[in-house]
Structure 1
Amino acid sequence: MAPPTHRSEKPEPEEENYIADPGSKNIITFEQPGLVGGTYTIQVQQTISEDKSEDDNRKETDSTTCDPSTPPGKQQLKVLAPKFHLPADSVYSIYPEQGHEATHDTLPHIVLNNSTLPWERIGSRQAEGHRTDDYSKHAVPWMALLIFSPDELHLDDVEKAGIFAHTSLNAPPPKQSESMAVRVPLGDLVKLKEGTASVPFDDQIDLDQATTPDTNLIFPKASLFTRLFAAYDDNGEPQPGTPDISRHRFLAHVVRMNTRGTDSDKVDTPREFSVVIANRIGPLDGDEASQMIVHLVSLENVESLNPVPLPEVVPGSSSPEQPARVGLVSLYSWSYTCLPPNSLSVKQTFENLARTASMLKPIIPPHSEHLDDAAKRMLNRFEEGYTIVRSMTPTGEPTAALIRGPLTPNFIAPLERDFLSNSGADLKIFDEKLDMMDITYSSAWSLGRSLALANRAFTVSLTRVRHEILHPGTSERGGWKTTYDDLTDPSSSDWSIVLRFVLDLYHLVNVPSRYLLPGQSMLPRESLRFFFVDGNWIDALVDGALSVGYMYQGGLEGSPVEDDDVVRRALKKSINRFMFTDPTTVHHYRSAAVPRYGFFLRSSVIAAAQFPDLKVSVVEPSGGDPNLKVLLRHDIVAEETMLGFFSEAPLKGELYQMRFEVPAHQQFFSLGSVTDQDLEVVYKRQYTTTKPKVEDRSRNVPVAMVKWPRDGKGKSMSTNDNDTRERSQVFIWGSKSGLNDVRLVLVEKLAADVHATLVKEMAELGSDWYEETTATSAMMAYQLSSRSWHLQIG
């Protein structure tokens, strides 16, 4: 990530042209549009004068000026900007996504395609009228992201009747959408002022810029509105006065992305997005998940709803008292599921996965050490990855059998690759000690044949290849001079189809999950399991597939046995030569990379609700083959389940380290570690230069760790820190002691404390590392961004 910067009305050339490295981003405080939305008057007055040349006989210079009595020319200009709706295709992404899950400390955010959209209208008239010296680094957006629980926005019929009494929606009462919004005609917005709700609308609303005849409104309780928009002192106590929306200047910023090398690499210039972050977190109570609704609301004229605190009940309402409401325009909305506070975080999940990682095999319950030989044998079979399934004898009697799939906890020595079976029955292995049949390889053979018969293209192509091999003219040609690869056109299109199908079998493509995991206990929730790939099982799978179309040929000269499928033997010989011949031999046949080792990861961290694009990478040892592709495949094969294959096992010395990490594009914003009793926030090191005099070798070391108790001020948690100052309260838990109904981040106070800490601490670490003069939204975007956790194995 590039160092955060700000974009002023006259940006510095170096700052304006800075482009982060590919895959990185540059955070900009805000981007000022040329003109904000509204009506402007252009006034023109022109003065014309004439300068006479020196050789002119006239000594005086005639000058013609405007008559002072002539009024200057005027013309009105309207700058269109969104007001009641977002333009089409404005939203690039949201987090959490619609219907997905997130932890309680998550600060939802929305990414907009237009980098100037949050500042295209005036958000705070008060801030515009009293510009501070550092105004060029601070601009209050006209939109804010707020989160609510459904009950905080739900309206009963009595409330609806009072709010819409003087509008066209008075009868029947309007219905609320799933986001608890009400669709209101624009012509009724001013009439809402006559109802029981407080609304931030002028008597004359400019509807010229409206693109639709209505808009969405939400009606949170006035008591909640007061808590969300009141100014607070250093002790976290609300102060009366005008609603404070200036804190939202720290909750909107611009991101410039270098998309080179990605799917978005369509133009030469980097892409810019605007981001708006919420300043409220999810519930801190309960053990069950709860639904949360996110609304992007308009802040325009919200300052007119003063003074706060607003009345909490409707004056004159009968018992029970009717809560007062405030109407806000909703520009966009979605919902997500907030996980309870006792849910595992990404860090805790990775720690648990690392602690419990093991090989893929059934979970064996505790047992006595004094077991008979049969019991010991059975336990050994379980340790080898076997499980027991119901089976049938050839005579139709039900019995039990041993089975495992191609994924084993132990390395299986390879057998001869040229074995053939015509039914799979001869691949069964009888365990005399257990008096049970091992149907592992026979089931693999049957599966291969079933998959082949289900694929019409493969079956037809295999039949044609069989006829070509048996045709006398094919044998007389003496064969082809080179092997087929993906870069050359095949001499036989049928052969390429057959080879592709077989290669898919070697990579276990389309193999049902019940064969990969014969027992459910082998992969419990929140587990990481490693395995070897049994090449013999895959050979049986391939043999079953290639057996399709076999007809008795009466034996051919040179066949080992009379009833021998010589075509299948020739096919397997060619495939094995193509895939496993040493590439250093004279024929230069390449050795195909096939799965030999892998992992199963089952965790909520890779669910669609969390990080479906969890990044998996392999760090190869020095001196390894640079042309060897170690990570062959990693796919999400089921909900919360990822399957990965490697071309080499650790015992071969090729696979050195494996790393799971949250992808950069799926990182989010988080407050920190927060409970119903305290808040802990880690202050990250931050830099304002891309070329420091001395590089910081401890970038990931926090600059400070601060803890705030619920009813007190914050203090540094570092044992070697000399900073003993008390820090202003930055989080409001509830409206009363013991309640957690507000959960509001006082981001302006947090920003001031972070900036003061960075100025002090970073100056001691590096003289030119942090030279910002004031807190900015770019600084807070970096501080609130979630940490990039990763799990490294090896």
Structure 2
Amino acid sequence: MGIYPGGKSVRIDSPRHLTIRHARNLVAVHQRNVRLALRSSGELQDEGESSEEEIDPLPAGQQKLNSYWAPGLEAGKEHIVSVEQDINPNTTKKGSKKLHLTAEQGFFVDAPQFSLPDGSVHSTYPPAGYSDDHRILPHIVLTDPHLPWERLGSPKQGTNAELREKVRLMALGSLEEKPVRNRVPWLVVLAFDQSELRLPPEDLDKIFSATSDGVIKPVKQSSTMTVNMSIADLWKLPTSDVITPVTPDLGPESMKDSRGDFIFVQPEIFKSFFSTWDEDNNRVIPENNKADTLQYQYLAHVRKINGSGMALAGVENTAVFSIVIGNRSGPLDNQTPTTMCAHLVSIEGVEDMAFPSDSQRYVALCSLYSWNYTVLPPDTLNVPDAFEHLGRTLDVLRAPESIIKPLRDAPDKVRQRIASRLDDGYTLVKYRTQTGEPTVALYRGPFTPTYVPDLAHLTKSSNSSVDLQILDKELGIMDITYSIAWQTGRTMALGDEVFTAALNRLRTAIHGPAMKTVKLQTIKDINDISFRTKDEVLEDLPEVIQSLANIHIRRNDGNNFAPPVPGQPFFSPGGAKKRWFRPKMGRSDLPNMSFTDLDFEQRYKAAAVDVARRLAGSKSQGLLYDETNDPVSTDWMIVLSWLVDKMFLSGVPAHSLIPDPTYLGPESLRFFRIDKNWIDSMIDGALSLGNHSLVDDDRVAIKTALNLYIDSIPKGAKHKIQIPAYGFYLRSDLVTMFPDLRVEVLPDEDALRAAGEEPPAGAPLLRHDIVTDGIMMGFMDRLPGSNQFGQLVFTQPAHQQRFAVARGLDVDKIKVNIRKQYTVDQKTRETDDGRHDKLTQIITNPTGDKSKDNIFIWGSKPGQGLNDLRILRLPKYADVQLEELEKWKQTAPDGTPYFKDDTATSALFSMQLNDPVYKLTVDLKAHPENESLAALGPSSGPSATEVRTLRQLEPARMAMHPGYRQGGSGVSSQLARHDDDDDAEGAAGVTFQRHGEYVPTVKALAKNLAPHIRHIPTISAHKLPKPSEAISSFAEHKPRDRFSDPASAPRYRITVSSNIGSHWDVITLRKPNLQQDIIFAVSVEQNQSNQYMLAELDIQIKLGPAKTDDNYLMPTYAGTGAIMLTNLRFNVLPQILDDGGQRVLRLRVLPRAAKGWIDIGTVKELGFMLGLAQVNESLGDPTQVELDVWAIYCKDAENPKLGDDNTVKIPNSITTRVTVFDNPQWAQ
């Protein structure tokens, strides 16, 4: 939703926009102070005009009202641009004339007319589907402050261009008139009872009979009683029945193709909405029989607010909205809730339209936005009661006490243990183990009702999250909290392509330089001069000339050469290969430069941290990147932003945050602590991507750089980076009514002064979101109930306050409290101790002595006790307000009048219609649940800010063979020098031959196998266990339903085919006959009454050549293996067996179950794929091969061992045959 800031936008599209904006404001203030100091010292020249941007121009909690914001040109009728130019000829010839040129160009201003753009509506009150008091006037808040005046609501007031020229002349003193303080909008809010807009079926058929197919027949009205149609169809409605203000003069010719929602208003109601009223409350029809729209100039205004503490408007420092208020209240005598329809109606053209005649039954008005709300009977729940109820429901986030107390009071220790876990915020969830068994587990989200210390065993990174599970030994139930957190982080990272790509690039940027540094250091440890870096070469340049001179200098005896310079290579005359005297290292002297070396690993860890720290820096000298400066690495910028967003729990699924809906009941306020261990595990899971090393030191380096960022103090700030540690959930209809409900986190200033502590310098609210309809979430970094967080205040937002007819309204009277209004600044206003008291009270009645010249119209016929209209009488109501304020002569101590104005405006009148602004202040220190809140923090006492750095800083390690690790770097202390270093001599003794006894493995000779694919060995069939062939003994162990016949064994229907989409029942061979993937589609057909426990399903294929009397499917199998397709609760294991001289391929489908079997009643299919099988050619004719299939079942489920005595083998009753076609045409 777009928010108009009234100037330069400071919107930050981040869940951390509150903390980022706070930091940037601090930096801006710091930079401004530095510039001012430099200017005062003369080091910086003053440029004359200040380029300083105003910081927070509107204080928090304040608002500025304008009666209207009219754009320069209004939309609607055509505008004409006229251009004139005089051209004088540059000649003295006679007869030359001055040329006068003119041109005109017509254009239309593009603006909404029959529908609103997306995001135009910020909020409505009452919200759609919600209820409120009958006094309340519906209103709508629009995100565009110009929208209500982009078209003309009253042409008699002149165009916007005429208005602008009038204001200019008045500013120059050329025109002596009163300023134009009001402007009629083209959008008004009209409220109706549904019965007033519902069309009878006969009218729906008759009126729309001539419309096009764009109007769906039979015509039906929407829930708000509108009918959608095009303007062309609107003009086809019979004028004898329907009149509309929409005419071709309101726009270009293409306007007829536009569509809109239209309501059909009864003529009497329409006349009442657009007429004036005399002193006797009688309706006055204008002499020209045309509508009067001037009264609506008091029902639209503009509000500029400070958005701090608001979930939606808070994305900008300031926000500007236009507000349109309705003029009709709800029913006054309803005994049951009544549904009302509110419509944002266009009145463009209404002022030029004559009132409907007696024969015309409806007026068609365009509704640009509509909603339904409910008017409650008198004396029902209202906003003040809802605020007070919220304060009484304060508690921590966990299961209700009504659920925990019976378990806590039970004598059973198991129940008491479960109650203890529920007190800690846990809940029981359904869980399926890795082997497929369904069970139950304990889970708690990141929001805890108690303090959770740093867990001692959560200091190491994980590669699978299994090591993060914790077994509750008393209950025998696994706690999967941190395992789920790890998986959540990894899943969210996998779903973000930008982050994943940046993380992999960042890992590469860390790994490359770190490896280079460690390898260089390893070599230099052997010989410091054996390798020279670029920097070292540049440092030695001053000695180059002297070193070159030493090459040809000899001693006087002519035999010995000059001694080497300390720290320099030793030179000697001779060939190029003998000039450098370097030692030749033997094989044992070569350093180990792999992660299998302990020294190398330790050096790499430190080098990776150094590289990560450098990449985490900024282009500002010596400063870390902190999102207020320019980064060294853009990949680090992306990774850092993503990780810190996740520490603010952005994007975490709702079911992971609140695992049980009972934790947050309706109309409740719940506080919680954010579990640091949960956040650590989630971040670890996200950073686990892209690891290709046995030891993931790169992940540790990234975490270390993140910790440096969290533990740093940005330049210009007085506090470290803020990470949320506590928070609250507010679930209430108030959040729906007021989405921008203002939240303030206030310290206990008296307690801070008494303790000698400074007020917290950071942002009080770190995250503030409306997570869904009716639920608000807020994060803080200070403990609720502490000195730093003593009160939580909820206030109605300035732009979402309720508007009411009066303080009291019923069928026989209206009671209006005229409020004090001020035209002085806030400081002067606060000098009036009675500023919240009413100025005066006005009481009028619909009949009797006090009904004369009323401000409210109850009914269409005065004196008859009707309340069918219930509309404001304007401008009378606004004039009465101004008269009472003008009588108020009170002044400030300096003699300044508190109020001084002579014109009733929409801004002034809106302050009168404002219902009282309600504020809920929750005193957390004095609340009865203070002990529960104190339990959220550590027992040592709260601190103003808690540095929440990551703790899982030990690298994750892959499992290695015990002998794989080699110790030491293989560096010898003494290096033997060799005088003869010629390559030819050194290579003469080198031979490259395998050992004579070397025998290549089968895998080494299999060119089709990848390096990680094992070759399938051939084993003897008699070595495999042989289950019993008898089924009678097995049936005795089966439990039997006495009301049904014994169940037959399951049958397996198996189809074998090539992996070709068009043929799923044959194996198709192509030319040439290459290896191909074979699909085994296995469906289970079974009696629903059976209780067989499947331990294994075997499919056996005889192997042999093609040119034999017997048909063989394949000569052998040396492919990549078999994988399950959909049912991952099973594995498929291929084996090649020697069964009495006949080689066979047996495909064993085994359940992934710790007990070794699975209930076949839960299995529907067991399809798998055999990779890269070489199928025998069929020699021109189709070949059919029969496969042997049997299943092995467990006899006794209570016996944990699946031996020969506890299994039974049952052959498949369905014959499985495979058809092979040598030519694809056979398969057509």
Bin of the TM-score, shorter chain as denominator length: 0.5 to 0.7
Match of 1:664 in 2: 798
Q: Given the alignment, which residue of 493, 515, 518 partners 1:471?
A: 515
Give the conservation status (yes or no) of the 8 Å contact 1:37–1:81: yes
Query: How many equivalent residue pairs?
Result: 677
Q: Given the alignment, which residue of 386, 399, 410 partners 1:362?
A: 399
Give the conservation status (yes or no) of the 8 Å contact 1:418–1:572: no
Seen in structure 2, the aligned counterparts of structure 1 residues 528 and 695 have a Cα distance that, compared at 3 Å, is closer
Seen in structure 2, the aligned counterparts of structure 1 residues 681 and 388 have a Cα distance that, compared at 3 Å, is farther
The answer on 1:222 being equivalent to 2:267 is: yes
Q: What is the CA distance between 1:208 and its match in structure 2?
A: 9.4
Match of 2:821 in 1: 686
What RMSD in Å do the two structures reach over aligned CA positions?
A: 5.7
d(CA) in 1 for partners of 2:776, 2:362: 47
Give the conservation status (yes or no) of the 8 Å contact 1:293–1:336: yes
The answer on 1:295 being equivalent to 2:345 is: yes
The answer on 1:147 being equivalent to 2:191 is: yes
For 2:487, the aligned partner's letter is S
Identity within the alignment, %: 27
d(CA) in 2 for partners of 1:741, 1:458: 65
How does 1:492-571 map onto structure 2 within 5 Å? Answer: 498-548=639-689, 553=694, 568-569=699-700, 571=702
Match of 1:743 in 2: 870
Give the conservation status (yes or no) of the 8 Å contact 1:281–1:744: yes
Which of the pair has more CA radius of gyration?
Answer: 2
Which one is further off, 182-191 or 519-528?
Answer: 182-191
d(CA) in 2 for partners of 1:101, 1:304: 35
Match of 1:341 in 2: 376
Match of 2:710 in 1: 579
Give the conservation status (yes or no) of the 8 Å contact 1:102–1:336: no
Seen in structure 2, the aligned counterparts of structure 1 residues 654 and 683 have a Cα distance that, compared at 3 Å, is same
Residue 635 of structure 1 aligns to a residue whose secondary structure is strand
Match of 2:137 in 1: 106
Give deviations 1:248-273, integer Å, cap 9, x for gaps: 16635664869999999xxxxx9999
Match of 2:745 in 1: 618
Residue 66 of structure 2 aligns to a residue whose secondary structure is strand
Residue 372 of structure 2 aligns to a residue whose secondary structure is strand
For 1:364, the aligned partner's letter is E
The answer on 1:703 being equivalent to 2:838 is: yes
Q: What is the CA distance between 1:523 and its match in structure 2?
A: 1.5
d(CA) in 2 for partners of 1:361, 1:761: 55
For 1:278, the aligned partner's letter is G
Q: What is the CA distance between 1:412 and its match in structure 2?
A: 1.5
Seen in structure 2, the aligned counterparts of structure 1 residues 116 and 469 have a Cα distance that, compared at 3 Å, is closer
Seen in structure 2, the aligned counterparts of structure 1 residues 387 and 37 have a Cα distance that, compared at 3 Å, is closer
Q: What is the CA distance between 1:404 and its match in structure 2?
A: 0.6
Give deviations 1:696-734, integer Å, cap 9, x for gaps: 44476141585869866899xxxxxxxxx9994624268
Residue 485 of structure 2 aligns to a residue whose secondary structure is helix
Seen in structure 2, the aligned counterparts of structure 1 residues 531 and 211 have a Cα distance that, compared at 3 Å, is same
Give deviations 1:14-47, integer Å, cap 9, x for gaps: xxxxxx9687434348999999999xxxxxxxxx
Q: What is the CA distance between 1:376 and its match in structure 2?
A: 3.0
d(CA) in 1 for partners of 2:255, 2:638: 58
How does 1:383-422 map onto structure 2 within 5 Å? Answer: 383-392=423-432, 396-416=436-456, 418-422=459-463
For 1:439, the aligned partner's letter is I
| TM-score, normalised with respect to structure 1 | 0.67
Match of 1:327 in 2: 363
The answer on 1:628 being equivalent to 2:762 is: yes
Give deviations 1:176-197, integer Å, cap 9, x for gaps: 98634876779979994xx356
Which one is further off, 112-121 or 592-601?
Answer: 112-121
For 1:442, the aligned partner's letter is S
Seen in structure 2, the aligned counterparts of structure 1 residues 466 and 241 have a Cα distance that, compared at 3 Å, is closer
Q: What is the CA distance between 1:164 and its match in structure 2?
A: 10
For 1:121, the aligned partner's letter is P
Give deviations 1:461-502, integer Å, cap 9, x for gaps: 475367448726247676357653335666666555554444
Give the conservation status (yes or no) of the 8 Å contact 2:783–2:789: yes
Give the conservation status (yes or no) of the 8 Å contact 1:153–1:180: no
The answer on 1:377 being equivalent to 2:417 is: yes
| TM-score, normalised with respect to structure 2 | 0.46
d(CA) in 2 for partners of 1:90, 1:552: 53
Match of 1:648 in 2: 782
d(CA) in 2 for partners of 1:539, 1:694: 51
Give deviations 1:507-553, integer Å, cap 9, x for gaps: 22332221210111111233222111111222233333444456774
For 1:222, the aligned partner's letter is P
Seen in structure 2, the aligned counterparts of structure 1 residues 397 and 744 have a Cα distance that, compared at 3 Å, is same
Which one is further off, 594-603 or 618-627?
Answer: 618-627
For 1:654, the aligned partner's letter is Q
For 2:361, the aligned partner's letter is R
Q: Given the alignment, which residue of 472, 492, 508 partners 1:431?
A: 472
Residue 337 of structure 2 aligns to a residue whose secondary structure is coil
Q: What is the CA distance between 1:449 and its match in structure 2?
A: 3.8
How does 1:56-67 map onto structure 2 within 5 Å? Answer: none
The answer on 1:350 being equivalent to 2:387 is: yes
Q: Given the alignment, which residue of 470, 486, 490 partners 2:625?
A: 486
Q: What is the CA distance between 1:385 and its match in structure 2?
A: 1.0
Which one is further off, 380-389 or 671-680?
Answer: 671-680
For 1:341, the aligned partner's letter is L
Give the conservation status (yes or no) of the 8 Å contact 2:891–2:898: no
For 1:742, the aligned partner's letter is L
Give deviations 1:421-467, integer Å, cap 9, x for gaps: 45433433333443433222233233334444545326634753674
Give deviations 1:646-695, integer Å, cap 9, x for gaps: 22324664334444444434456443567765755543211245599875
Q: What is the CA distance between 1:226 and its match in structure 2?
A: 4.8
How does 1:20-419 map onto structure 2 within 5 Å? Answer: 24-28=63-67, 100=128, 105-108=136-139, 112-113=146-147, 118=152, 121-122=155-156, 141=184, 145-149=189-193, 151-156=195-200, 179-180=226-227, 192=239, 195=240, 207=249, 219-229=264-274, 232=277, 238=282, 242=286, 245=292, 248=295, 251-252=298-299, 255=302, 277-282=325-330, 285=334, 286-287=336-337, 289-298=339-348, 305=355, 325=361, 327=363, 330=365, 333-341=368-376, 346-365=383-402, 367=405, 370-372=409-411, 373-392=413-432, 396-416=436-456, 418-419=459-460
Seen in structure 2, the aligned counterparts of structure 1 residues 589 and 548 have a Cα distance that, compared at 3 Å, is farther
Q: Given the alignment, which residue of 892, 898, 901 partners 1:769?
A: 898
Q: What is the CA distance between 1:783 and its match in structure 2?
A: 1.4
Give deviations 1:603-635, integer Å, cap 9, x for gaps: 34434xx44444444345575466534422222
d(CA) in 2 for partners of 1:260, 1:427: 42
Greater relative contact order: 1 or 2 (C-alpha under 8 angstroms, separation 6 or more)? 1
Q: What is the CA distance between 1:402 and its match in structure 2?
A: 1.9
Give the conservation status (yes or no) of the 8 Å contact 1:410–1:532: yes
